[in-house]
Structure 1
Amino acid sequence: MIPLTILLCGVVTFAVRYALFGPIGPEHLPTRIRSTLPYVMPAVLMAIIVPSVLLPAEGGDLKAAAPYLVGAVCGFGVGAFKKDAFFLVFAVAMAGFILTKFAL
């Protein structure tokens, strides 16, 4: 059921994006909108990552939040220097999370 849900979410996301921008084409987008497009993906990722990192700390238990915070800091640290290496950033963030999770 979960793979089907993920697939349907992807189809709906693509359909909404295509319905808004597909018929227009990138060459017909206003310059102001085209200049903001590179910032959409980082903004969406931050909207997803920040709550998932900060929600475990709501109860005040920093031990529960530590792996999430370490993983996020490791990922952002590497991402600050290697902007185009998504898989490297992802691997470092996951390694930081997993090592901290098992260390605690």
Structure 2
Amino acid sequence: MRPAALWVATAFARLFGFNSFTVLAPQALMGIAAAGLLYLTVKRVAGPMAGLVAGATLALTPVAVLMFRFNTVVGRALGSVGVRVLAECSTMPSAPRSHGCCLRH
């Protein structure tokens, strides 16, 4: 059984043929999605400016840029974790801004 992180790259390769673009495009899209999901999650808890700073920090951090630039499973996993955190934070009532965290203690 294949890891779920490789399913997106496999789908791109089957749809568009196997070449460097179809292998790396899902990584780039996951990087954009991860920054957007981080923005939405932090915005819900700490406001739009904090969300913008968090999303921009993820998008511009050299380590994250390298993760999403090459064909690694870590980048896809980070996108999956972002979806999970946003889904869990969406189901919880808004946390007071003084706590700065959407997780219950």
Relative to the length of structure 2, the TM-score reads: 0.35
- Greater RCO (Cα-Cα under 8 Å, separation 6 or more): 2
Larger helix proportion, structure 1 or 2? 1
Relative to the length of structure 1, the TM-score reads: 0.36
